[in-house]
Amino acid sequence: MKGNLENKRVAIVGGGPGGLTLARLLQLKGVDVKVYERDFNKDVRVQGATLDLHFESGLKVLEKAGLMDAFKANYRPGADKGRIVDTRGKIIHDDHEKESYEDFGDERFRPEIDRGPLRNILLHSLQPDTVIWDSQFKSMLQVGDTWRLEFKNGTTATADIVIGADGANSKIRPFITPIKPFYSGILIVQGNVPNSETGASKIHQLLKGGKIYAYDGEKFLHVSSKGDGSLDFYVSCKKDENWAHKSGIDFSDKAQVTTWFKKEFSEWDRIWFELPENVSFPLLLRPQYCMPLDQNWSTLPNLTILGDAAHPMPPSGEGVNLAMLDSLELSECLTNENFKDIQTAIAAYEKQMLVRAAKEAKESLEMTEWMHSEGAIAKLVQMFH
């Protein structure tokens, strides 16, 4: 059942959805695995916005991991419903008024869950002490056929196989390839408004427990409700790669952020000003990068990467789903006895992962382009239909 992982120690660097999913799948097959996560503990950092899981990827993986019942107990019915609105807040398309596909057997159904509950489902599915907290990766060195990992807290670990699941700014990726991601031309400014019912009452009513999409040709605003009563929003706009630094704006300062937002959205209705006036600080600035579509590398004997560590790309609704699918395919390859060794198993995984990632990245870049162009609303409405 363990395949080539018999008597092998696996180290996963990064405790996001991809890394935790892989740990769960490997433990189901009896593999010795540890997850090294930089967070001090599971509660130290508020998890980000909601996400939807897809029939052919995220939901499929949860089924394989034996976690579908836990997911059904924690997902948020109706949170997947979206409203497309114009800059004045007028509703152009409303999912709340159309037939619902809230059926886990329907390929069109994409149930929403907050990142925090999803992470907790995965954490609770693991054996005690699987996740080693406060383990921010510093460096690693190959010692014979093993890796010696060093962490910033001074601790070390040894593993036969290392898997990087440490996100878009992966520290593991440079050990595999010198290829660097390129800037997509898009900057996301992300924030959270606590208790949106009182903090942003008009937008809260417009949300109706789901999502809002608003466009004006050069930028778009995405707002989503969360199970804790807050709302997350992000402004996605075309900016120079170093704009945040050059702008001189302190995004931890309410007055400066409010001034910037009102200037950026000067032609929009005042309803949107509820966001900067009630947001928690600081805001997150997230320049969006993407790996070259033709990226490739020579497979190493005992090291690989998955999720955003392998294929960062602008948001398209596929990120977590891709990471979870990577985890499933990697776990199946590594524990498949038909592969003669670990390197062959990794090569099989990387081949299909890179092909899929290139396809998704191409679609992500194309989506990014039209979503920041004239006619975006009409195209999105057409997509929703």
Instruction: List the binding residues for FAD.
Output: 52, 115, 308
Q: Which residues are annotated as a binding site?
A: 45, 52, 115, 308
Specify whether the CB–CB gap between 278 and 177 falls below 8 A: no
- Which residues are paired to 152 by β-bridges? none
Kindly state the tokens that stand for 144: 């014979």
Phi-psi region of 241 (alpha: psi -120 to 50; beta: other; left: phi over 0): alpha
Kindly state the tokens that stand for 127: 């054996």
Question: Would you give the end-to-end CA distance of the chain in angstroms?
Answer: 45
SS3 assignment, position 212: strand
What distance lies between CA 316 and its chain's CA centroid? 10
Place of tokens 């950092």: 45
Find the angle CA(50)-CA(377)-CA(54) to the nearest 5 degrees.
35
Distance CA 186, CA 370 (A): 12
Distance CA 24, CA 119 (A): 12
Kindly state the tokens that stand for 233: 């929003």
Which one-letter DSSP state was computed for residue 169?
Answer: T
φ/ψ (deg, to 5) at 227: -65, -20
Distance CA 374, CA 377 (A): 8
